[in-house]
Amino acid sequence: MLSISVLGANGRMGRNLIKAIAEDPHTSLHSGTVREASPLLGIDAGVAVGITEQNVKLDTLTNTQVDDLNVVIDFTLPVVLSNHLDWCVQHQLPIVIGTTGLNAEQQVALNKASQHIPIVFAANYSVGVNLLIKLAQQTAQVMGDSADIEIIEAHHRHKIDAPSGTALALGKGIAEAIERDHDKVAIYGREGHTGERKQDTIGYATVRGGDVVGDHTVLFADIGERIELTHKASSRMTFAKGAVRAAKWVRNQPAGLYSMMDVLGL
C-alpha cells in the first residue's frame, strides 16, 4: 500500500487527489496539509472533501510526521514550491509536482532538488494530454515544414497563468520535434497590424471563462487542408488519477527529474 501526502489538500486539485487516493485500492492517504490560518485545520480530510472519513486530520506541513510516508503530491502555488522541495529533500521523499507557472529561480530549485530525490514534474497528468503531445510531435515531423502551427487553450476563470502549462508543454514538445528554438518562434498574442504570419512560428491563443476544466487544440493549417488535434477534460479527477499513477511509479525511481511521458513509457 502506497502512503501519500497531499499538499494543499483544500485546493481544487487537492480535493480531487484525496478522492482519487481513497478510490485506488493500492494507495492510502497519509496526510493532507493546509495553510496555518485555514479553517480546515484539524478537520478529517475525507469530511473536508465530501467523502467518508479517512482518519487523517488536516494539518500544516511543519507538523506533518514522515513515519510510513512514501510519496508527496504537490499541486499548490509556485511561491511555496521551494519550501516544499526543501522539506522533501530533508526527509528524502519522492514528490509529484503539478504546479505550473514557475519562474527561472523556481525551475533552478526544482532541478537542484532532483539531484537528491526522484521528482515527477508535469504540466498535465492526464494520460490523454500526454498522448496528445506525442501525436502533435509526430504530426509536426510530417507537416511542420509547410503547415502553420497554432495552439488554442481554454480554462476556467480562476486560472492565474497564461498560456497554460499544458499549452506550453505542447509548444515546446513540437518545437523540439522539429528542431526549432521555442523561445524564438513562440508568438503569445496578436494585435493591430501584425504583418504576414511567419511560417516557422508557433502561435498561442488563450481563452478564460466559466468553469472550463481544460481544452487544448493543436492546429496544423496547410494550404488546402488542416489537421486539428484536440483534448478536452471534463473533470479534474482525470488529472488526479494520473498524478496518483505517477506517485506509484516514482516511488521506485532513483533521484532525477522525470515527466509524465516517463511514467507512461512514451
Query: Which CATH number does the domain housing residue 199 bear?
Result: 3.30.360.10
34 closest CA partner among 64, 7, 56, 62: 7
For residue 77, name the pLDDT band (cuts at 50, 70, 90): very high
pLDDT, average across residues 46-53: 92
Domain match, 87 and 42 both:
yes
Q: What is the DSSP letter of 128?
A: H
Domain match, 144 and 185 both:
yes
Domain match, 176 and 95 both:
no
d(CA 244, CA 93): 15
Q: How many helices (H) and strands (E) does the chain have?
A: 9, 11
Tell me the percentage of the chain whose pLDDT exceeds 90. Answer: 92
pLDDT at 59: 94
Q: Model-level pTM?
A: 0.83
Could you tell me which residue, 266 or 193, shows the higher pLDDT? 193
Instruction: Cell numbers for 40, please give them.
Output: 480546515
The helix or strand, by DSSP H or E, that contains position 91, with its residue range, turns out to be: helix 78-91
Q: Is the pLDDT of residue 89 over 90?
A: yes
Instruction: Cell numbers for 2, please give them.
Output: 502506497
Domain match, 12 and 105 both:
yes
Q: One-letter amino acid identity for 166?
A: T
List, by residue number, the catalytic residues.
Answer: 155, 159
Instruction: Cell numbers for 95, please give them.
Output: 514528490
Domain match, 170 and 206 both:
yes
Domain match, 20 and 73 both:
yes
pLDDT at 214: 93
Domain match, 98 and 73 both:
yes
- Spatial CB neighbours of 78, under 8 Å, sequence gap ≥ 6: 99, 100, 101, 102, 103, 106
Q: Are 100 and 123 spatial neighbours (Cβ–Cβ below 8 Å)?
A: yes
CATH code (residue 92): 3.40.50.720
pLDDT, average across residues 82-97: 97
Domain match, 10 and 83 both:
yes
- The 10s digit of each residue's pLDDT in 201-222 is 999 999 999 999 999 999 999 9
If phi > 0 it is left, if psi is from -120 to 50 it is alpha, else beta; for residue 238 that is alpha
- The 10s digit of each residue's pLDDT in 114-166 is 999 999 999 889 999 999 999 999 999 999 999 999 999 999 999 988 999 89
Q: Are 153 and 207 spatial neighbours (Cβ–Cβ below 8 Å)?
A: yes
d(CA 198, CA 202): 9
Q: Count the domains in the chain.
A: 2
pLDDT at 15: 95
CB-neighbour burial class of residue 261 (10 A; exposed 0-12, middle 13-18, buried 19+): middle
Over the range 146-162, which residues count as b (16 or more CB within 10 Å of their CB) and which as e? ebbbbbbbbbeeebeeb
d(CA 31, CA 16): 14
pLDDT at 236: 87
111 closest CA partner among 257, 262, 234: 257
Domain that holds residue 180: 127-233
Domain match, 115 and 179 both:
no
The helix or strand, by DSSP H or E, that contains position 149, with its residue range, turns out to be: strand 148-155
Domain match, 91 and 187 both:
no
- Spatial CB neighbours of 63, under 8 Å, sequence gap ≥ 6: none
The helix or strand, by DSSP H or E, that contains position 46, with its residue range, turns out to be: helix 45-49
